[in-house]
Structure 1
Amino acid sequence: MHVTVKDVMTWRVISVGEDTCFKNITELLITHAISAVPVVDGDGHVIGIVSEADLLHKEEFREQFHGENYRPPGQRRGADKARGEVARELMTAPVVTVSMDAPVVAASRLMEHHGVKRLPVVDGRGRLVGVLSRHDVLKVFVRSDRDIEREIRVDVLTRSLWMDTSRVHVAVQDGVVTLSGRMTLRRDTQIALWMTRQVNGVVDVIDELTWDRDNTPTGERC
């Protein structure tokens, strides 16, 4: 049911070695219209990432504090990068990576938590195999309504739920799922709704389900 990183990531990835010079990194970003490149060691392991922001420090600090050794604490790191000439001196490290087998939803949460727009993707040995961007994550929503409906009917209602779902109806319009009909227990309807929301491509779920018997604890009833 869950789309993994390897299903949507960009496999063709541009990377640089730790000794790649400033000018070559800049040319790569411009030529390939990308905003950052992972930095890898001789074995292909990700050791950092150089972004446009890292490179722009050189211009930012070109004249600022000229001839002074003092830097405000918040600007010292940027000033250090401004003097950098090769990737290992320019890169941001350590870098957050994600496994190619991780669920896309987990990768999305990782991006949000760390405030990053892309994640280098690594294999089981920690070697770079691709990049996952926010644009790639959005691919999970580009599914046909028919495909979403089929997954809910077959994988959720038939294979995953150990309950009678024969009276449940599924309708999907622009990724919005409406579950209607009747089930035996109210708790069963809650489980069906929760599992439907986990299906990739589902934008929202409208609950029109009813039940024969309310078996939820008294405190949960409304």
Structure 2
Amino acid sequence: MPVNVKDVMTQRVISVGENTRFKNIAELLVTHAVSAVPVVDSDGHVTGVVSEADLLHKEEGRERFHRENCPPPQTRPDQGPEADKARGKIARELMTAPAVTVSMDASVATASRLMEHHGVKRLPVLDGHGHLAGIVSRHDLLKVFARSDRDIEREVRVDVLVRSLWMDTSRVQVAVQDGVVTLSGRMILQRDTQIAVWMIRQVDGVVDVVDELAWDRDDTPAGGRD
């Protein structure tokens, strides 16, 4: 079965309230060796994330906006989000908002795409009520590739070929080594071989698919050869 975020997420989450002070946040990051913490309101909803970058941005901003040789106040660029964050003292003022979150029932592929699109390394995970349920990191997502070859082979044979595609697999051989699935033997239709390969590529933990299948009849629009 497909692996969802809830299957790989870390349930024990280090989070902070909106009024948590800068120093306390920094201590949490250092003590727990994490690079970011979700910020939650009094109802348990995630309102933002404070990262190492956010805290360092404050220090950078302090130097930029308050060094001795800075321009006079009337010309100093002390307005806008950067300046606000540089003056921030509590989580609500320091955090990056809104937070990029993911549902605990989302697939690991969805979580991976969100991380890639937003350039983040971890995502707060929400339950069905929108409350913080865990956190998922890039490291967690890599767990799907640690599935045993035996588990992958079973899913390919049972869930993909038989249950999903209703195929007669008596003439099909499935071999899995280090996450690479090799299909050999014959199927009745060429289109069936194409669909099977495509679906197997979507199986969690599959690194690649080697297609060595033959077919009895070419039913593709352009025709072909056996």
**Same fold per TM (> 0.5)?**
yes
**C-alpha displacement of 1:214:** 0.4
Residues 1:48 and 2:48 aligned together: yes
Measured against aligned partners, the alpha-carbon deviations of 1:118-155 in whole angstroms (never above 9, x if no partner) come to 11000111000100100000000001111111111111
**C-alpha displacement of 1:107:** 1.1
Give 3-state SS (helix, strand or coil) of 1:129's partner: strand
Give 3-state SS (helix, strand or coil) of 1:3's partner: coil
Give yes or no for contact 2:125–2:136 (8 Å, CA) kept in 1: yes
Counterpart-to-counterpart distance in 2, 1:58 and 1:96: 21
Partner residue, 2:201: 197
Give yes or no for contact 2:8–2:141 (8 Å, CA) kept in 1: yes
Counterpart-to-counterpart distance in 2, 1:156 and 1:63: 58
Partner residue, 2:129: 125
Residues 1:102 and 2:106 aligned together: yes
1:19–1:187 distance in 2 versus 1, CA, 3 Å: same
Give yes or no for contact 1:5–1:102 (8 Å, CA) kept in 2: yes
Measured against aligned partners, the alpha-carbon deviations of 1:83-139 in whole angstroms (never above 9, x if no partner) come to 100000000001111100111111111111111111100011100010010000000
**C-alpha displacement of 1:71:** 2.2
In the superposition, the TM-score normalised over structure 2's length comes to: 0.92
Partner residue, 2:28: 28
Measured against aligned partners, the alpha-carbon deviations of 1:140-176 in whole angstroms (never above 9, x if no partner) come to 0001111111111111122111232211100111100
200, 206, 213: which one aligns with 1:209: 213
Counterpart-to-counterpart distance in 1, 2:185 and 2:156: 15
Counterpart-to-counterpart distance in 1, 2:167 and 2:149: 25
Counterpart-to-counterpart distance in 2, 1:185 and 1:38: 51
Superposed counterparts of 1:154-169, under 5 Å:
154-169=158-173
Q: Which ranges of 4 or more aligned residues in structure 1 deviate by more than 6 Å?
A: none
Counterpart-to-counterpart distance in 2, 1:208 and 1:140: 25
Residues 1:111 and 2:115 aligned together: yes
Deviates more, 1:35-44 or 1:76-85: 76-85
Give 3-state SS (helix, strand or coil) of 1:210's partner: strand
Give yes or no for contact 2:62–2:87 (8 Å, CA) kept in 1: no
In the superposition, the TM-score normalised over structure 1's length comes to: 0.94
Counterpart-to-counterpart distance in 1, 2:22 and 2:224: 62
167, 171, 190: which one aligns with 1:186: 190
86, 89, 100: which one aligns with 2:90: 86
Counterpart-to-counterpart distance in 2, 1:202 and 1:78: 43
Partner residue, 1:146: 150
For structure 1, the 5+ residue unaligned runs are none
Residue type at the aligned position of 2:101: T
**C-alpha displacement of 1:80:** 1.9
Residue type at the aligned position of 2:92: R
Give 3-state SS (helix, strand or coil) of 2:105's partner: coil
Percent of aligned pairs with the same amino acid: 76
Counterpart-to-counterpart distance in 2, 1:114 and 1:62: 26
